[in-house]
Amino acid sequence: MRRKKQSLLVLLLTFVLILTGCGAGGQDSDQKSTSKKVKIVYSQGKNNSKYVPDLIRAFEKKHPSIDVEFRVLPSSSTSQHDAYVTALNAKSSEYDVISMDVVWPAEFAQAGYVLPLDRFIQKDRIDMGDYNKGAVLASNFNGKQWAMPRFGDAGVLFYRKDIIPQNEVPKTWDQLQKVAEKYKDKNGLQYGYLMQAKQYEGLVCNAVEFIASYGGEFINRKGEVVINSPEAIKGLQKMVDIAHSKIVPGNVNTFTEVESHTAFVENESPFIRDWAYLYALSNDKSQSKIVGKVGVAPLPAGDKGSVSALGGWQLGISKFSKHPKEAWEFVKFMTGKEGQKMTAIKMGNVPTLTSLFQDKDVLKANPFFADKGFQAGYAAAVPRPVAPNYQEISDIIQIEISKAISKEITPKQAVEEMEKQIKAKLVK
């Protein structure tokens, strides 16, 4: 009887050990499953995409459990926008991290295409004060942060430092008119100032700069239409005055960036309002007649100071991503110090982290970033009107300001029309 009990005990212990072994095997399986690699998809336009694989490899080295597939979209911002809208409107999870033009976040937020990032930002204690203020505001809508600034751009004043003495670099719009008039027709120059006044998106950027420098704005942070103000009228009046002055080409209302920068590098004007790319272009011996002769300064100020229109790109997370936590890790890396430093060095993009303007490696690769005039201009950058239907708002602004420039209507009538039409179109 004792032997039977012992045998039963042995069998029972053996069974327990087998179960325990199964349990251990199950834990190993669970551990393997939790350590299984997660794949996320990052997409952006093919412009400046050459070195993205290097960034992805650096990220994957730090996060071996996350694989990143790079999906390249067309270079056209419009084509990229349409591709995202088509996929996200269908609630597709094919994209996890998306690259957004600086004017898209409000639209994508309103449509429910992207996740708010506030909980991730708070959890990882990211100080948004470390980023360019305008870039942060561009992706803030209804009090929430919908994207992280990856790289930026800003309108600045380029001038011929071989012609314009340092003490005559204009600090206000009034001074610009006087100095440009003084040097027009000298040193082989034909014009005094170049700007973008054709009816297109660049006109909106120029208008934002004039109007904001006098204290006006189109839509405030509360989402209220405030363009009809004395400040906005004064800023627009200054823009119209300059567009009709002798210092600009007579057909300035046909000028985009291309016409402007072509005239500048051909030695036709001592001043131009343009984006950061012009510095490299003006120093390219194969394209420019003014190599080594260009200085940079903030745009001239109105009553309320100097203001630049903000450009650049942001990173957001698709609301339909199946891996939002992993997507956030990638966003955090790409928009953090390491990712932005690599982007600035390899691609020449303007950092949105202000500390990188003092980074020796970044400045060695981009001496232009060290220019105090550029830094001041970029620091003064403000976003274009933040609205979920931005393109419709932009069309209104373009049409009414074009009418003002052609003197079909007065600046006062233009802001009244913009107020009425934007209010009617604004999606809340």
User: What whole-number percentage of the chain has pLDDT above 90?
Assistant: 73
127 CB neighbour count, 10 Å cutoff: 7
Q: Are residues 197 and 240 in the same domain?
A: yes
Q: Are residues 259 and 406 in the same domain?
A: yes
Domain harbouring 162, CATH code: 3.40.190.10
Burial pattern 277-294, b for ≥16 Cβ within 10 A else e, equals ebbebbbeeeebebeeeb
What are the tens digits of pLDDT across the range 283-323? Answer: 889 999 999 999 999 999 999 999 999 899 999 999 999 99
What pTM does this model have?
0.76
Give a yes or no: residue 96 inside a domain.
Answer: yes
Pairwise pLDDT comparison (373 vs 211), residue with the higher score? 211
Measured at the alpha carbon of residue 294, what is the angle toward residues 292 and 253, in degrees to the nearest 5?
135
Q: Are residues 264 and 178 in the same domain?
A: yes
Give a yes or no: residue 161 inside a domain.
Answer: yes
Q: Are residues 172 and 248 in the same domain?
A: yes
161 CB neighbour count, 10 Å cutoff: 17
Q: Are residues 54 and 197 in the same domain?
A: no
87 CB neighbour count, 10 Å cutoff: 18
Q: Worst-scoring range by mean pLDDT, 77-81, 145-149, 401-405?
A: 77-81
Q: Are residues 346 and 218 in the same domain?
A: no
Q: Are residues 66 and 92 in the same domain?
A: yes
What is the end-to-end Cα distance of the chain in Å, rounded? Answer: 85
Inter-residue contact 400 to 394 (CB < 8 Å):
no
Give a yes or no: residue 374 inside a domain.
Answer: no
The helix/strand/coil state of 181 is helix
Q: Are residues 359 and 412 in the same domain?
A: no
Q: Are residues 299 and 420 in the same domain?
A: yes
Per-residue confidence at 35, pLDDT binned at 50, 70, 90? low
Enclosing domain of residue 42: 38-152+312-367
Give a yes or no: residue 339 inside a domain.
Answer: yes
d(CA 94, CA 83): 11
What are the tens digits of pLDDT across the range 76-85? Answer: 777 899 899 9
Instruction: Count structural domains, the chain.
Output: 2
d(CA 200, CA 359): 36
Sheet holding 156-160, edge to edge: 271-274, 156-160, 294-297
Give a yes or no: residue 73 inside a domain.
Answer: yes
Question: Does residue 30 carry a pLDDT above 70?
Answer: no
Alpha helices in 35-131 (DSSP H): 52-62, 77-89, 105-111, 118-123
What is the pLDDT at residue 150? 95
Q: Are residues 388 and 345 in the same domain?
A: no
Q: Are residues 66 and 172 in the same domain?
A: no
Q: Are residues 298 and 421 in the same domain?
A: yes
91 CB neighbour count, 10 Å cutoff: 11
What are the tens digits of pLDDT across the range 180-204? Answer: 999 998 888 999 999 999 998 899 9
Q: How many CA atoms lie within 13 A of 284 on its CB side?
A: 13
Give a yes or no: residue 322 inside a domain.
Answer: yes
Give a yes or no: residue 29 inside a domain.
Answer: no
What is the pLDDT at residue 18? 40
d(CA 237, CA 428): 30
